[in-house]
C-alpha cells in the first residue's frame, strides 16, 4: 500500500465518527501535545476584536452616562470653628482664602512655569494624557523630578467638580469629564480655573492668595523666579514650603531649578531669561490672619497638629473648612498664664536699655496630669507677629530639669556593677571619697562636699548626675524619659552630658512628663482636642486621647515626687506646698560653655506647668547666652521662669495650697 493510501486509511476512522462543530475550537481538535493548547490566529484575532469592541462599548456607555456636574457643587467651602473647653467659641476661621483672578492678571511666565511643572502638553492634549501617566510612573521609579501624571484639565476637574478621594470610580469620572470639558471650554478658561482652585499651602487656594501668602504681593507682580517657586508647591505644599524645614527647603529649591530648566527645554523660556534666575527666591515667613492674634494662633496651631497626628485629616482638608473643633484649652487659665509672663517680663526685662535683655523668648504650657489635657499655653507675644510656637518647639536644651528622669532611672534600675549585676539606689545615697555611690550611715554621713542625689537635684550637682547617668546607663535614662512622656525625636545624642539636659523637649511635653511623677507613675500623652465634628457628625477615625499607661513603678514616681517637693519647699521658703522642678537650665558641656536657656517645671494639685526662657537670634534661630539677663549676673536668667510659674500658680485657683504655719 502506497503512502497516499496509508494516509487515507488513517483518516477514514475520523470521517466515520464525525463530531459537531464547536463555536470556539479550543482546545484545538485534531492536534496533539503543545499544539492542542496553542490558539489559532483566527481565535487570537477574534479575541482581540471582541475585547476592543467591549472596551469601546464600555467607554461609549460611560461617556454618554457621565455628565459634567455644576461647578463647585461638591467643593463648598466653610469656616473652621474652634471652641474652648467650656464649649464657648474661641475663634472662627473664615472661608477658604481665595481671590479669583483672570488669566490676564497672571504673568505669562507664571503660566508657563505651571505648565512646565504639571502638563507640558496642556495646549495640545485632549484633556487627558496616557503618556503623561506612564512618564510620571517611570520617573517616580527612577527617583527623578516629574510632571504630574494627571493633566491640568484632570486636576481642575478634581478640584472643581469631584471629591479628593482616590477611588477607581472617581478616577474614571475624572477621565470622562476631562475629555468633555476639553471640548466645551477653552484652554485659557481651564488654565484660569486651575490656577484659581489649586492648593498652595499656608491656607491659600489659588495663585492670587498664594502670591500674598508667600511673597506679600498680588499675582500680577510675580516674576519668573517666584512663579516657578509657587509652581513647585503644586506637587505637595506640605513637602515643598521652604520655610517649614530644611528638608522642605532642599526639595523646593531642587524642584524650582528643575521647573526653570524644563521651561527652557519646552521652549517656554529663553536660556538668557533662565540665566537671570540663579538664586532661589526665599518666601516670607509664614504669617497668620489677625483673628489669630495673641495666643489664639498658637492654640489653633497645637490643635491642628493634634488633629493631623491622630486622624487621616491633612492641612488641605482643614483648609477646605467645615470642621467644629472642641479643644481642652481653658480660657481663664490661658489668660492667667499670659498675664503672668507679661507681668514678670515687664518688671524685670528692659530691652531698650540692656543688650542682654534683647531677643528674649518665653514658652510655657499647663497640662492636667490626670488625663493629659493641655489646659493653657504661652507660645510667644503674638501669633500674628511671631509664628514660631515657643510652647511646642523642639530647639531649647532642657538642662537640669531633665535630672528627675535620671533619678527615676537610677531608682528603678540601680547602677551597673562590673560583674553585670546591679546595685539598688536610693535618693539619699551619695558619692563618697572612694568615688562610689553609698548609703548614708552613722559612720559615713554625707557632708557639704558630698551632696546626696536628693540634694544634688535641687542645688545643681551636674557632676553627680553625669556620673549617675553613666552608671545607670544612658539608654536606660533615655528610655525612662521617653516612657515618662518625652518624644524620642527630642532626645540628644547619648554623650556624657546627656544626663544634665542636652535634649530639647517642648514645654508641653515637659509639663506632661512631670505629670507622670505627680500621677504616681501613670503616663498620659498630652492632648488638645476632645471632639472633631463635620456635617453634624463626629469625624470617623479621630482619636481624642490615648489611655494612661504605667510608665514608672509607683514607688519610683512617688520618691522622685518627694524629692521635687523638698526642692520646691526650699526654693519657695515654705510659702507654698507644691512639687516643683529644678529652675536651672541647659547643662554645661565645658567650663567655657555659657548658659543658653532657663527652665522651671513643677506641678500643683492636678496641674503640671513648664516654663522656659531663652534668647534667640532672629535671623538664624541661634541661641544666645542668658548671662546678665535682667541685669543680674548671679542668677544668669534662671530666676525668671520660676517667677512666672509662681505668679501663675498664685493666680490660679488650681494652684499651690498655702503651707500652714508652725
User: Using alpha carbons only, what angle is made at residue 304 by residues 622 and 371, rounded to the nearest 5 degrees?
Assistant: 95
Cβ 534 vs Cβ 326: under 8 Å: no
Q: Is the pTM of this model over 0.85?
A: no
**What mean pLDDT do residues 305-322 have?**
88
Q: In what helix (H) or strand (E) does residue 108 lie, and over which residues does it extend?
A: helix 108-118
Q: How confident is the model at residue 149 (pLDDT cuts 50, 70, 90)?
A: low
Cβ 616 vs Cβ 626: under 8 Å: no
Which pLDDT tens digit goes with each residue over 372-421? Answer: 999 999 999 999 888 789 999 888 999 989 999 999 999 999 998 777 78
Which pLDDT tens digit goes with each residue over 232-275? Answer: 999 988 899 998 888 999 999 999 999 999 999 999 999 999 99
Higher per-residue confidence, 432 vs 122:
122
Which pLDDT tens digit goes with each residue over 449-499? Answer: 688 999 888 777 789 999 999 999 999 999 999 999 999 999 999 999 999
Question: What's the mean pLDDT when you consider all of the chain?
Answer: 82
Burial class of residue 336 (count of CB atoms within 10 Å of its CB; 0-12, 13-18, 19+): buried
Please say if the pLDDT value at position 298 is more than 70: yes
Q: Minimum mean pLDDT among 32-46, 176-190, 204-218, 561-575: which range?
A: 32-46
The alpha carbon torsion through 288, 291, 296, 299 (nearest 10 deg) reads -60
Distance CA 509, CA 391 (A): 9
Please say if the pLDDT value at position 662 is more than 80: no
Q: How confident is the model at residue 15 (pLDDT cuts 50, 70, 90)?
A: very low
pLDDT at 413: 95
Percent of the chain whose predicted confidence (pLDDT) is above 70: 75
* Other Cβ atoms closer than 10 A to 355: 8
Amino acid at each position: 500500500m502506497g503512502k497516499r493510501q496509508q494516509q487515507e486509511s488513517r483518516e477514514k476512522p475520523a470521517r466515520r465518527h464525525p463530531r459537531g462543530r464547536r463555536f470556539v475550537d479550543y482546545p484545538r481538535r485534531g492536534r496533539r501535545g503543545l499544539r492542542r493548547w496553542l490558539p489559532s490566529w483566527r481565535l487570537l484575532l477574534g479575541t482581540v476584536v471582541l475585547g476592543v469592541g467591549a472596551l469601546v462599548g464600555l467607554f461609549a456607555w460611560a461617556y454618554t452616562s457621565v455628565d459634567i456636574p455644576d461647578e463647585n457643587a461638591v467643593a463648598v467651602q466653610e469656616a473652621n470653628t474652634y471652641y474652648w473647653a467650656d464649649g464657648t467659641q474661641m475663634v472662627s476661621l473664615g472661608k477658604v482664602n481665595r481671590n479669583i483672578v483672570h488669566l490676564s492678571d497672571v504673568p505669562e511666565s507664571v503660566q508657563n512655569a505651571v505648565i512646565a511643572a504639571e502638563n507640558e502638553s496642556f495646549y495640545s492634549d485632549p484633556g487627558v494624557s496616557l503618556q503623561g501617566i506612564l512618564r510620571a510612573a517611570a520617573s517616580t521609579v527612577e527617583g527623578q523630578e516629574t510632571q504630574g501624571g494627571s493633566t491640568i484639565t484632570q486636576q481642575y476637574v478634581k478640584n472643581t467638580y469631584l471629591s479628593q478621594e482616590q477611588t477607581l470610580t472617581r478616577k474614571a469620572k475624572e477621565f470622562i469629564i476631562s475629555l468633555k470639558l476639553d471640548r466645551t471650554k477653552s484652554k485659557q478658561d481651564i488654565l484660569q480655573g486651575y490656577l484659581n482652585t489649586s492648593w498652595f499651602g499656608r491656607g491659600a487656594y489659588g495663585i492670587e492668595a498664594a502670591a500674598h501668602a508667600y511673597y506679600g504681593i498680588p499675582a500680577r507682580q510675580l516674576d519668573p523666579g517666584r512663579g516657578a517657586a509657587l509652581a513647585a508647591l503644586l506637587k505637595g505644599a506640605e513637602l515643598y514650603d521652604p520655610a517649614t524645614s530644611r528638608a522642605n527647603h532642599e526639595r523646593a529649591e531642587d524642584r524650582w531649578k528643575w521647573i526653570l530648566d524644563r521651561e527652557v527645554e519646552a521652549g517656554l523660556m529663553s536660556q538668557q531669561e533662565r540665566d537671570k534666575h540663579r538664586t532661589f527666591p526665599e518666601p516670607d515667613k509664614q504669617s497668620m490672619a489677625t483673628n489669630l492674634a495673641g495666643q489664639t494662633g498658637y492654640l489653633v496651631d497645637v490643635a491642628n497638629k493634634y488633629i493631623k497626628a491622630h486622624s487621616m485629616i491633612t492641612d488641605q482638608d482643614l483648609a477646605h473648612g467645615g470642621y467644629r473643633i472642641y479643644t481642652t484649652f481653658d480660657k481663664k487659665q490661658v489668660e492667667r498664664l499670659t498675664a503672668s509672663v507679661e507681668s514678670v517680663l515687664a518688671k524685670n526685662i528692659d530691652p531698650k536699655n540692656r543688650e542682654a535683655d534683647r531677643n528674649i523668648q518665653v514658652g510655657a504650657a499647663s497640662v492636667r496630669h490626670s488625663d493629659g489635657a493641655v489646659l493653657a499655653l504661652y507660645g510667644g507675644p503674638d501669633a500674628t507677629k511671631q509664628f514660631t510656637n515657643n510652647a511646642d518647639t523642639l530647639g531649647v536644651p532642657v538642662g537640669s530639669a531633665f535630672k528627675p528622669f535620671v533619678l527615676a532611672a537610677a531608682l528603678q534600675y540601680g547602677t551597673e556593677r562590673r560583674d553585670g549585676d546591679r546595685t539598688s539606689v536610693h535618693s539619699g545615697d551619695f558619692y563618697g571619697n572612694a568615688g562610689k555611690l553609698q548609703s548614708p550611715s552613722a559612720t559615713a554621713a554625707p557632708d557639704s562636699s558630698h551632696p546626696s542625689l536628693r540634694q544634688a537635684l535641687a542645688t545643681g550637682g551636674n557632676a553627680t548626675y553625669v556620673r549617675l547617668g553613666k552608671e545607670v546607663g544612658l539608654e536606660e535614662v533615655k528610655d525612662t524619659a521617653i516612657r515618662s512622656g518625652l518624644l524620642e525625636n527630642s532626645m540628644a545624642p547619648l554623650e556624657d552630658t546627656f544626663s544634665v539636659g542636652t535634649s530639647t523637649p517642648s514645654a508641653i511635653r515637659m509639663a506632661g512628663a512631670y505629670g507622670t511623677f505627680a500621677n504616681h507613675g501613670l503616663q498620659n500623652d498630652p492632648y488638645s482636642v476632645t471632639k472633631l465634628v463635620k456635617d453634624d457628625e463626629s469625624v470617623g477615625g479621630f482619636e481624642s486621647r490615648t489611655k494612661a499607661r504605667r510608665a514608672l513603678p509607683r514607688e519610683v514616681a512617688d520618691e522622685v515626687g518627694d524629692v521635687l517637693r523638698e526642692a520646691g519647699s526650699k526654693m519657695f521658703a515654705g510659702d507654698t506646698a507644691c512639687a516643683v522642678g529644678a529652675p536651672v537650665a541647659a547643662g554645661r558641656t565645658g567650663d567655657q560653655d555659657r548658659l543658653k536657656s532657663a527652665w522651671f517645671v513643677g506641678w500643683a494639685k492636678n496641674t503640671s506647668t513648664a516654663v522656659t526662657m531663652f534668647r534667640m537670634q532672629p535671623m538664624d534661630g541661634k541661641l544666645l547666652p542668658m548671662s546678665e539677663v535682667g541685669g543680674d549676673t548671679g542668677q544668669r536668667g534662671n530666676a525668671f521662669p520660676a517667677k512666672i510659674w509662681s505668679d501663675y500658680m498664685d493666680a490660679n485657683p488650681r494652684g499651690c495650697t498655702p503651707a500652714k504655719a508652725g
